[in-house]
Structures are given as structure tokens and as C-alpha cells.
Chains A and B, each alone.
Chain A
């Protein structure tokens, strides 16, 4: 019953968002309503409502295929974890942000925004288990099951997806609290700091606070 209610709510939200939220979408850079290809709802690029389907998705319904690119994942001589091919919601992010994805339907590469295409080889490692064990071997990491994230619960509760590090450990695409991320382009300063608090981050990285949530350095 509660599952059904949740489903109804999501469908309602997706179809009637403008009523719920008014004119301003909280999606900041992911508000594709502003672009020609985004369609009417800001949600459809990532979620669709399949008419007639009564399945309740455990994760958002993705309106496009998962990426099939073969990734080269991050590796280094000091790494203790074992990043795998992208898993969980990271796959969905990479459906648009992967450097190899071509433009089609909703497979966007925003024109002139090549930096939005992420290479996993030179990005923070993702898609691996981050647990108390890893923290113990590494010496420089906080224990995710006991350390507070600053967002209410522990790192594990607030930042990990089934105990794993993913794109969503650092990013929250719905980021309602930072509508001002539209301002990002104006915030580029001459030193290459592209408005570091405006990347749909789960928490501000002011003073590297996000990094220091997990890293005990």
C-alpha cells in the first residue's frame, strides 16, 4: 500500500512539478526545461512515467539505455580499494556525462561544455565498497559506519549507496538547497575555481569540507 502511494507521489511530482514547485525548478543545472530538447517536464530526461505500467521502480526509471562504454577505471599505487566498472546510479550519471556518449534523444553532450564529460581514469575512484575495513587498511580514511557526515547521519547512511562509493556520494542532482548554481558561470574566478560550492554537491566543499568528511588527513 505504501509502495503504491509512493509511486503515485512520484508520478504526480513528475507530471505536475510546476504546480508543486511553482515556476522555479530546484534542479539547477539539471533543469532541462530550459533547453530545446528537455521536453515539458524537467524530470523526463532522467525519469519517465510509463503509462500502463504498474511497476514500482526501486530506482528512478531511466528514459534511456545504460551506457555500454568500456571504462578504464582509476588506479594508483596507493589505492587500497578496488574500483569496478561503474555500478548503481553512477551508470545513470555516466549515461550523459561519459566522455564517450554520443548525442541522441536524451543522450546529451551539452554543446561547448566538454568538461562536463567525465573520464573515470582521472576522476575520484567510484563504484567500490567503502567500509570500516577499508578505513582500517588505509589509515587516512574515517570509518563510514561511525563517522558523522554532517548531514544528519553517518557517512554510510548519508553518502554511500549500499555501502559503495558512487557519483552520488558527492553529488545530489536534485540539490534543492542551491538554486543559485545557475550563477556558476559568473563565478568562475581567474584561478580556475569554477564556483566550487555550485556543483550540486551533497555538502559545501568550502575549505575542502566535503573531502575531509571521509579523508582523515
Chain B
């Protein structure tokens, strides 16, 4: 009986330590530590301490092969901004997510064969939220339906401009955190047994009740 009890508690401990371990990047879709090509490392698929790739200015010590694709960008008659070819952090994301560069291609390795599947946003960005354009007070004024990024709080501590924009530009990272740091519960934080997936937890701000959208859109 004592043995059973001990077994019960130790398995409980292991169970919880798995949850603790999975805080942050680990156990997210960007956790490649379980693959052989990553060498078991969590950061090196994307970052390196030396000899980082400088093709995209201001990247955070980038270690992944950078995409060279050209894109069809979003446009619409009501759009006031002018999205150009992807820049900055968006270009880093697209270096896996446009489906043209293999996921494994990092450091000096270029022989990868695996590509994103359901996460492929392709090089046709006409069906995606516009990115890589300046979102400033002037745009908000012209548009009429946008909050002023320089003065509106994001809910994360600072303003929209401080917390969600990259030097004033709207990028993939305005909505997503690549480290998926809000997931504290491992796989089941996003997937549960009944429904396939809630992508909510990789977002910088939860989109429950369209909260993310309404951070910038004043509708």
C-alpha cells in the first residue's frame, strides 16, 4: 500500500514537472528539440550566439536560412495603407512559413527536406492580414476605424506601437509571439481531446471575443 502511494505521488510529481517544463517555447510548435536535425537544441533552429545571418536588418541573431521569394501582397479598395514586400520579422517567419525554405535549414546546413504543412501561408499573401507597412497616427486618422498606435494602450503594459509594432511597422509578430510564451500547459494548452486546436495561445493577446482585433480596430 505504502509503495502504491509512493508510486502515485511520484507519478503525480512527474506529471506536474512535465507541465512546468512545457512553459514557454518548449512543447510548442516551434519546439524542435525532439528532432534529430536540431541536435536537441531549442534556440539554434532560429538563433545563434555568433556569425548570425544579417540579411534581414535588425534580426535577433538569426540562424535560419532566409527566404528569397517574392510575394503577392494584400490589397483592397478600402485599404489606406500600402503593404509592400515583406520586411523585418515577417521575413523571418516566412523563411519557414511561405513553404519555399526547408524547416531544417539553419546554421550552415542547407539539405533540409521538410516543409511546413498546415502552417503554410504560401507566397500569396492576398488572403492574409496585411503586413509590412507603417501603422502610425496619420494612418489611424485617415482610416477613421483604427486606434492611434502611439497613444492607445495594448493591454500588455505599453502602447500598441511599443508592444506590437516593429519600429512602427505591422508584422506577423504584431499578432504572434514565435516563442508562444503564453502557453503554460504543453500540447493540451492548445489541443484538447474533443476539438483539434485553439491557436489562441500563440497570439500576443488572446483573441477571445476578438480582443486581439479590437486592440487596433475601433469598430
Q: Which residues of A are interface residues toward B (Cβ below 8 A)? A: 74-78, 115, 118-119, 121-124, 140, 170, 189-193, 196, 205-208, 211-212, 215-217
How long is the Cα–Cα vector from A182 to B107 in the complex, in angstroms? 22
By secondary structure, the B interface counts as: loop
Is A123 a contact of B109 with CB atoms below 8 Å? no
Question: What string of 1s and 0s marks CB contacts (under 8 Å) between B16-40 and chain A?
Answer: 0000000011000000010001011
Contact of A217 among B25, B41, B49, B104 (CB under 8 A): B25
Contacts of A75 in B (CB 8 A): 58
Query: Is the Cβ of B107 less than 8 Å from the Cβ of A119?
Result: no
Contact code string B100-143 (vs A, CB < 8 Å = 1, else 0): 00001011110100000000000000000000000000000000
Contact B109 A77 (CB under 8 A): no
Chain B nearest CB from A211 CB (Å) reads 5
Q: Would A208 and B60 count as touching, CB distance under 8 A?
A: no
Tell me the smallest distance from the CB of A66 to a CB of chain B, in Å. 21
Q: Which listed residue (B43, B50, B54, B111) contacts A190, Cβ 8 A?
A: B111
Q: From DSSP, what is the main secondary structure of chain A's interface residues?
A: loop
Decide: A190 and B24 in contact? CB cutoff 8 A. no
Q: How large is the interface on B (under 10, 10 to 19, 20 to 34, 35 or more residues)?
A: 20 to 34
Interface of chain B residues 40 through 62 with chain A (CB within 8 A)? 40-44, 47, 49-54, 58-61
Task: Tell whether B181 is near chain A: CB-to-CB under 8 Å.
Answer: yes
The docked-state distance in angstroms from the alpha carbon of A124 to that of B107 is: 15
Contacts of A121 in B (CB 8 A): 54
* One of B39, B51, B54 near A189 (C-beta < 8 A): B39
Indicate if the CB atoms of B40 and A217 lie closer than 8 Å. Answer: no
> Quick one: given A122-B50, A123-B50, are A196 and B60 in contact (CB under 8 Å)?
no
Assess whether B217 is interfacial by the CB under 8 Å rule.
no
Residues of A within 8 A of B111 (CB): 190
Is A217 a contact partner of B179 (Cβ separation < 8 A)? yes
> Are B167 and A77 in contact, with the CB atoms below 8 A?
yes
A208 touching B107, Cβ below 8 Å: no
Contact of B167 with A216 in the complex, beta carbons under 8 Å: no
Contact call B49/A170, Cβ cutoff below 8 A: yes
CA distance A130 to B166 in the complex (A): 23
Q: Which residues of B contact A170 (CB under 8 A)?
A: 49
Q: Could you pull out 6 A-B pairs where Cβ atoms are within 8 angstroms? A: A77-B58, A78-B60, A122-B50, A122-B53, A192-B108, A207-B33
B51:A193 contact, CB within 8 angstroms:
no
Alpha-carbon distance between A192 and B106 when the two chains are bound, in angstroms? 8
What's the minimum C-beta distance from A166 to chain B, rounded to whole angstroms? 13
Q: By the criterion CB–CB under 8 Å, are A208 and B41 in contact?
A: yes
Q: Give the residues in chain B near A192, CB-CB below 8 Å.
A: 106-109
